[in-house]
Amino acid sequence: MKTFAKNLRKVRTRKGLTQIQLAERLRVNNATISKWESSNYEPNLEQLVSISKELDVSIDWLLGYEDKLDQVIDEYILSDEDLTLIRQLASRLSK
Protein backbone atom coordinates (compact mmCIF):
# COMPACT_ATOMS: atom_id res chain seq x y z
CA MET A 1 0.00 0.00 0.00
CA LYS A 2 2.97 2.34 -0.32
CA THR A 3 1.53 3.56 -3.60
CA PHE A 4 -1.71 4.43 -1.82
CA ALA A 5 0.18 6.38 0.86
CA LYS A 6 2.17 8.31 -1.76
CA ASN A 7 -0.88 9.04 -3.91
CA LEU A 8 -3.01 10.09 -0.95
CA ARG A 9 -0.39 12.60 0.16
CA LYS A 10 0.09 13.81 -3.42
CA VAL A 11 -3.58 14.48 -4.10
CA ARG A 12 -4.24 15.91 -0.64
CA THR A 13 -1.45 18.45 -0.98
CA ARG A 14 -2.41 19.24 -4.59
CA LYS A 15 -5.91 20.06 -3.31
CA GLY A 16 -4.33 22.32 -0.68
CA LEU A 17 -5.66 20.33 2.26
CA THR A 18 -3.92 19.66 5.53
CA GLN A 19 -4.21 16.25 7.18
CA ILE A 20 -6.55 17.83 9.73
CA GLN A 21 -8.81 19.31 7.04
CA LEU A 22 -9.03 16.01 5.17
CA ALA A 23 -9.71 14.16 8.41
CA GLU A 24 -12.61 16.51 9.17
CA ARG A 25 -14.08 15.99 5.70
CA LEU A 26 -13.77 12.21 6.00
CA ARG A 27 -14.93 12.20 9.62
CA VAL A 28 -11.86 10.37 10.87
CA ASN A 29 -9.17 11.27 13.37
CA ASN A 30 -6.28 13.27 11.88
CA ALA A 31 -3.89 10.59 13.21
CA THR A 32 -5.65 8.19 10.84
CA ILE A 33 -4.65 10.33 7.84
CA SER A 34 -1.08 10.38 9.11
CA LYS A 35 -1.07 6.60 9.49
CA TRP A 36 -2.48 6.16 5.95
CA GLU A 37 0.16 8.46 4.50
CA SER A 38 3.00 6.70 6.29
CA SER A 39 1.77 3.22 5.25
CA ASN A 40 1.19 2.22 8.87
CA TYR A 41 -2.53 1.64 8.40
CA GLU A 42 -4.84 0.90 5.48
CA PRO A 43 -8.33 2.26 4.95
CA ASN A 44 -11.22 -0.16 4.76
CA LEU A 45 -13.35 -0.29 1.61
CA GLU A 46 -15.89 2.24 2.87
CA GLN A 47 -13.12 4.67 3.78
CA LEU A 48 -11.41 4.14 0.42
CA VAL A 49 -14.64 5.04 -1.38
CA SER A 50 -15.02 8.16 0.79
CA ILE A 51 -11.44 9.23 0.09
CA SER A 52 -11.96 8.74 -3.63
CA LYS A 53 -15.14 10.81 -3.67
CA GLU A 54 -13.79 13.57 -1.42
CA LEU A 55 -10.59 14.01 -3.42
CA ASP A 56 -12.22 13.43 -6.82
CA VAL A 57 -9.86 10.65 -7.88
CA SER A 58 -10.54 7.05 -8.79
CA ILE A 59 -9.86 4.21 -6.42
CA ASP A 60 -7.71 2.70 -9.17
CA TRP A 61 -5.55 5.84 -9.17
CA LEU A 62 -5.27 5.86 -5.39
CA LEU A 63 -4.11 2.24 -5.41
CA GLY A 64 -1.66 2.74 -8.27
CA TYR A 65 -3.66 1.21 -11.11
CA GLU A 66 -3.94 4.51 -12.96
CA ASP A 67 -4.61 4.74 -16.64
CA LYS A 68 -2.22 6.44 -19.02
CA LEU A 69 -4.23 9.68 -19.16
CA ASP A 70 -3.98 10.08 -15.39
CA GLN A 71 -0.23 9.41 -15.55
CA VAL A 72 0.25 12.17 -18.13
CA ILE A 73 -2.03 14.60 -16.30
CA ASP A 74 -0.30 13.91 -12.99
CA GLU A 75 3.13 14.65 -14.45
CA TYR A 76 2.11 18.20 -15.21
CA ILE A 77 0.18 18.73 -11.96
CA LEU A 78 -2.64 20.61 -13.59
CA SER A 79 -5.16 22.65 -11.66
CA ASP A 80 -8.52 21.14 -10.76
CA GLU A 81 -10.16 23.44 -13.31
CA ASP A 82 -7.82 22.20 -16.06
CA LEU A 83 -8.44 18.59 -15.06
CA THR A 84 -12.19 19.14 -15.22
CA LEU A 85 -11.94 20.64 -18.70
CA ILE A 86 -9.77 17.75 -19.92
CA ARG A 87 -12.18 15.17 -18.52
CA GLN A 88 -15.14 16.95 -20.13
CA LEU A 89 -13.35 17.03 -23.48
CA ALA A 90 -12.38 13.35 -23.20
CA SER A 91 -16.00 12.47 -22.38
CA ARG A 92 -17.30 14.38 -25.41
CA LEU A 93 -14.73 12.83 -27.72
CA SER A 94 -15.62 9.33 -26.58
CA LYS A 95 -19.28 9.79 -27.54
DSSP alpha helix (H) spans, the chain: 2-14, 19-26, 30-37, 45-55, 59-63, 68-76, 80-94
Instruction: Name the burial class of residue 48, with classes exposed (0-12), middle (13-18) and buried (19+) by CB atoms within 10 angstroms of its CB.
Output: middle
Task: Please state which architecture CATH assigns to domain 2-94.
Answer: Orthogonal Bundle (1.10)
Contact (Cβ atoms closer than 8 angstroms) between residue 80 and residue 93: no
Classified as helix, coil or strand, 15 is: coil
pTM value > 0.95: no
Give the model confidence (pLDDT) of 5-57 as tens digits.
999 999 999 889 999 999 999 999 999 999 999 998 999 999 999 999 999 88
Give the model confidence (pLDDT) of 61-87 as tens digits.
888 886 554 555 555 566 778 878 888
